[in-house]
Amino acid sequence: MKILLTKLYKVFLSEETQERIEKVILYLALVSFFIHLALTYLSKLEVIDFLSDSDFLQNPISAIYTPFSFILIYEVYLLIYYLPKSFTTYITKQYEIITLIIIRKLFKDLSSLELSTNWFDIKGDLQFTYDILASVILFYLIYQFQKQGKRKAVKQVDSKLNIERFIQRKKIIAVILVPLFFVMATVTLLGWLSDLSLSSSDSLSFESINNLFFDEFFTVLILVDVVLLLISFFYTDEFHKIIRNSGFIVSTILIRMSFGSSGLISTLLIVIAVLFGLSIILIHNKYEKHRLE
């Protein structure tokens, strides 16, 4: 079993695999950007009428949305890649993914801004304001979270044997997650293409695909976080560590809830989720510092 795990881990999550996937994703992002851009101009010149009434091909800026989708896929892989290596980096990747989703929304918002004196009376312009402020706030909160995560890692004093056992359990989860998310992404893509062929072009918009895959993705992450919490009970019964892991689950649930909301409520849920995670790790590190003293 251990030999099989080592082989699968090397295939899915080794540094060589990570570097290969990074190159493939970057090439796909570049190619997809130019294809989307070409389709936009062909549609404007009326050379093609495919999705001519859709938000997809209304503005060249919208083409940035497509490569960002591939970057998000790579971030999902990195989240799994870092799961066995660092728990705080794994949580950080969750926050980075939801921030990149907001950044991706900004490009959609930019392509449809009306730029009038009634800025705060126009729903699209108002949403752009929410998103751009949220992206700056999240960028800073993630920076602070990373700082606290590194500080905690330096002061970690758990027994080496317990850490190694916990890492082995996390490797098993990571090896399972790679093919699972690949299947989820494939099924989502095929389902979307099927809907695309059956839908009229004017019914297709960025709003209908912005949460595609990621609502199910964060649902799975909640389950993974719960499993990690339960496994952690085998290696520690310290109150502050249990609260930390439980707090991260709450943070992930708040992010998942944001996909079921829209407008300001959705944006606030995301900011509150990351702020809550930062508060949890700050208090956790206070406990660690007190214990060492």
pLDDT, one tens digit per residue, over 204-217 is: 555 556 667 888 88
Give residue 126's Cα distance to chain centre: 24
Domain count, the chain: 1
Q: What's the length of the chain? A: 293
pLDDT tens over the chain, length 293 residues: 678 888 999 999 999 999 999 999 999 999 999 998 898 888 878 777 766 566 667 778 778 888 888 899 999 999 999 999 888 899 999 999 999 999 988 877 776 676 666 766 677 778 888 889 999 999 999 999 999 987 644 444 455 667 788 888 999 999 999 999 989 888 887 877 676 666 554 445 555 566 678 888 899 999 999 999 898 888 777 888 899 999 999 999 999 999 888 888 999 999 999 999 999 999 999 988 877 76
Burial tier of 194 (Cβ tally within 10 Å: 0-12, 13-18, 19+): exposed
Pair 242, 230: CB distance under 8 Å: no
Q: Which two tokens stand for residue 166?
A: 């916990």
Give the DSSP H or E segment for 22: helix 15-44
Q: Which two tokens stand for residue 245?
A: 């892991």
pTM reported for the whole predicted model: 0.86
Q: What's the pLDDT score for residue 36?
A: 87
- Domain extent at residue 133: 2-292
DSSP letters of 167-197? HHHHHHHHHHHHHHHHHHHHHHHHHHHHHHH
pLDDT, one tens digit per residue, over 35-93 is: 988 988 888 787 777 665 666 677 787 788 888 888 999 999 999 999 998 888 999 99
Q: Count CB atoms within 10 A of the CB of residue 158.
A: 12
Residue 238 phi/psi, 5° resolution?
-70, 130
